[in-house]
Amino acid sequence: MGNKAEELGVDVFTGFAATNLLYNSKDEVCGITTGSFGLDREGNKTSHFQAGLNILSKHTVLAEGSRGSLGKKVIEHFNLDKERNQQRYSIGIKEIWEIDHSKSNPGLVVHTIGWPLDDKANGGAFLYNMDKDLVSVGMVIDLNYSNPWLSPFEEFQSYKTHPVINNILENGKRLSYGAKSITMGGLLSLPKLCFKGGILIGCDAGFLNSSRLKGIHTAIESGIIAAESIIESMLLDKNTVENNELVIYTKKIKASGLYKELNKSRNFKQWSNKY
């Protein structure tokens, strides 16, 4: 996609992290600053030092994923989460295994809750049978557990000893693994989506469907809506922007299938955290 975007004239800054937001004299976001290169481990400049770049924009779209560094800053700066439910987060751990062909059952889905977690920790696990003798196995644990000794990684290892899961993985080979934070608050925890000079999309906003643990499709849809909103503001510039806030984006989100989906599961986390 990056190559296709560049063919259309888009500048893609591969390897450059956005480290800070830029504000103008009206306290509006007007771009970002990239990270500096050539610093030692203490943060001192070396002979290879290169200062970060200021990249200016009329609309800054934050799409960093769960707990994005700039997203957190802009939510706090503009108080975007005022009168919203507190955001909730989980950690998800996943591994890809190659299993014995005789145990392969493409399409089989296993969902579990509870064990090995106790009644003071919320979470569940999954195992998805894919083709080519591959399975995806993982666990998601809410980050509101009170036991300081609880290790999500160790709980996941315990999960794989369950007879049903162990039987599938036995004599198999782990090919890859990873972990990430997950924004789980849902509709009632969504911050205000637009601010002066920019908008939040994807998991920076919190568009994940927590009841189904699915957020890629909602992130993509929010990105499409963001692009349409920005184009409309440039072409029409009428009823699309108020106080340099892209209000048309919020209106389109609330009229979208994305919003309807999140509305159906809006109370899921509040319900699940009771048990």
For 109-147, give the DSSP string.
EEEEESTTS-TTS-EEEEEEE-STTEEEEEEEEETT---
- 61 closest CA partner among 23, 32, 20: 32
C-alpha 19/C-alpha 69 separation (Å) is: 8
Say whether pLDDT at 240 is over 80. no
- In tens, the pLDDT along 251-270 reads 999 999 999 999 988 877 66
Report the alpha-carbon angle 165-171-176, nearest 5. 75
Split at pLDDT 50, 70, 90, the class of 45 is confident
pLDDT of residue 11: 86
Q: Domain locations in the chain? A: 1-57, 89-183, 187-275
pLDDT band at 239; cut points 50, 70, 90 = low
What band does 151 get if pLDDT is binned at 50, 70 and 90? very high
What's the confidence (pLDDT) of residue 13? 84
Q: Omega into 163 within 30° of 0, i.e. cis?
A: no
Q: What is the mean pLDDT of the chain?
A: 90
Helix 216-235 and helix 247-254: axis angle, to 10°? 140
Q: In which band, very low, low, confident or very high, does the pLDDT at 39 lie, cut at 50, 70 and 90?
A: confident
Q: Is the pLDDT of residue 40 over 70?
A: yes
pLDDT of residue 234: 85
| pTM of this structure | 0.85
What the block records as the tokens of 241 is 């922007």
Does residue 72 register a pLDDT over 70? yes
Q: In the chain, what percentage of residues exceed pLDDT 70?
A: 95
**Is the domain covering 89-183 a CATH 2.60.40.1220 domain?**
no
Residue-wise pLDDT for 161-219, tens only, equals 999 999 999 999 999 999 999 998 889 899 999 999 999 999 999 999 988 888 899 99
- Closest by alpha carbon to 70, among 14, 143, 17? 17
Q: Of the candidates 191, 188, 193, 189, which has an alpha carbon nearest to the alpha carbon of residue 253?
A: 193
Phi–psi pair at 30, nearest 5 degrees: -125, 15
pLDDT at 44 over 80: yes
